[in-house]
Amino acid sequence: MKIEIGKTEGVRREIKVTASVPEVAAIRKGALDAVRKYIKVPGFRPGKAPDALVLQRGKREVSKEFAMKLRSQVMHHVEMFHGGGDIVALVELIMPDIQNMVDGDDVTVVVRVDISPEFELPDYNHIPLPAHVELEVSDEEIDEKLRVKLLGEKNLGDMKVLREQARYEIYLQKEFEQHEKRKESVVDFLCSSVNFPLPASLLEREAVDLFMEDAERGNLPISDGDDRNRLLLSYMESAGYKLKVDLIMEAIAKKESIGITKEEMAAYLFAESYSRGIPAEVLLRTLKNDTRKLTRIRRKCLSHKVIATLYERNLSRSPANVSSEDKPFPARNVVDSMLVRKQELRRLNSADGNSAGGQQSGNIEDGSGHSCAGPLDTNPTASVGD
């Protein structure tokens, strides 16, 4: 088939694919043979009727089969040759009028696609990080945490142990938040260092996904006069930033051969369900029926891992910014990122549980064999790029 790159704008490509007369004839024969196998023609066994009778009794079915086979072959050629860049979305496919085709003519199909943008990655191995800030936990913060935590409790247990546990939990949360802010500096550095056009189809999908997530959480600022299109426009800026982050992280992952494991994906799905306030099994059922959402989740999971990897790498190369508290928290993978603080809290809970009046942390299972702190948990999976 003949391939011709037509109009281009940004990362959008218009590709014209022309099938020659012999190629059209071969596709038509394949369509006739496929319909011949099941169409009923009086006086002939299945699969034995001549072309003329098959076409006479099953013209619509032959046209449909021809269109399917033509589309399949066209897309195969487009994927093999598309003028640079990986295809990220099929925007439009314009088929000819199959019903009124004239034998002996070439057939042209117009395909519009968005391709991945091409850009040069900056030096991501030497990113300046904000200096580590020594953290302190005040008595007032401990008092407030215990006031909320112990509200309505009658058997308080050893108050000294409870205060030490509260101090440690607050310190862990502050340390985590500081690391997250420093991770943001990694992402901000990369985003400010490169500029490229975003695929319009992916940008719109990202905005729709953000819109739907807020709708599921009940966070949409909707009044009676608002309409869906105007609301979607308000998500474009945020969607553009998140999409840019994901595309940069995908490029780095490809260059560094970084992938995600089943365990990391399972942990990320559990964290996602936790943040949305829905059971993990409900989210899994939803994703099984929506491959686009599952692809987006995988992309977000990969971005988290790349960000964590770059942060740890740059942290280790900035000794002046490293404190003794820095080392446990930078994660080698997504699972570590979500579980390292929970394991510390769980260790503290198990060590002090008896002396604290038998209080439990309300642990739950994450579906992948990991126990995660319930009421004491502060959702350590939130990160830029999600």
Instruction: Residue 37: give its domain's CATH number.
Output: 3.30.70.1050
Predicted confidence at residue 310, as pLDDT, reads: 92
User: Parallel, antiparallel, or unpaired: how do β-strands 364-365 and 371-372 relate?
Assistant: antiparallel
By C-alpha distance, which of 124, 132, 104, 267 is closest to 194? Answer: 124
Could you tell me if 65 and 34 are in contact, meaning their C-beta atoms sit under 8 angstroms apart?
yes
Considering the domain architecture, whether residues 88 and 214 belong to the same structural domain is answered as no
pLDDT at res. 253: 94
Q: For residues 293 and 363, state if they share a domain.
A: yes
Give, for all 386 residues of the chain, the pLDDT tens digit: 888 887 777 888 888 889 888 898 898 899 888 988 888 888 888 888 888 888 888 888 888 998 999 989 888 888 776 555 678 888 888 888 877 776 778 888 888 888 888 899 999 999 988 888 888 999 999 989 888 887 767 677 778 888 898 899 999 999 989 988 989 999 999 999 999 999 988 898 888 888 887 777 776 665 545 566 777 788 888 999 999 999 999 999 999 999 998 888 888 888 888 877 778 888 888 888 788 788 888 888 999 999 999 999 888 776 545 454 444 444 434 334 444 444 444 444 444 444 444 433 333 333 333 333 333 233 333 333 33
Structure tokens at 10: 């940004």
Judge if 195 and 235 occupy the same domain: yes
Instruction: State the residue range of the domain holding 243.
Output: 139-372
CA atoms of 142 and 140, how far apart (whole Å)? 5
Are residue 223 and residue 362 in the same domain, yes or no? yes
Q: Is residue 120 part of a domain?
A: no
Is residue 131 assigned to a domain? Answer: no
Total domain count for the chain?
2
Residue 85 lies inside a defined structural domain of this protein: yes
Q: Are residues 79 and 224 in the same domain?
A: no
Residues 6+ apart with CB under 8 A from 184: 384
Q: How far is CA 39 from the centre of its chain?
A: 44
Whether 202 maps to a domain, the answer reads: yes
Tokens at 56, concatenated: 């006479």
User: Do 206 and 89 share a domain, yes or no?
Assistant: no
63 and 185 share a domain?
no
Within this chain, do residues 111 and 145 fall inside the same structural domain, yes or no? Answer: no
- Does 60 fall in a domain? yes
Q: Are residues 216 and 144 in the same domain?
A: yes
96 with 195, same domain: the answer is: no
> How many angstroms separate the CA atoms of 148 and 40, rounded?
75
Radius of gyration of the chain (CA): 29
The reply to whether 146 and 92 lie within a common domain is: no
Q: Are residues 303 and 184 in the same domain?
A: yes
pLDDT at 161: 87
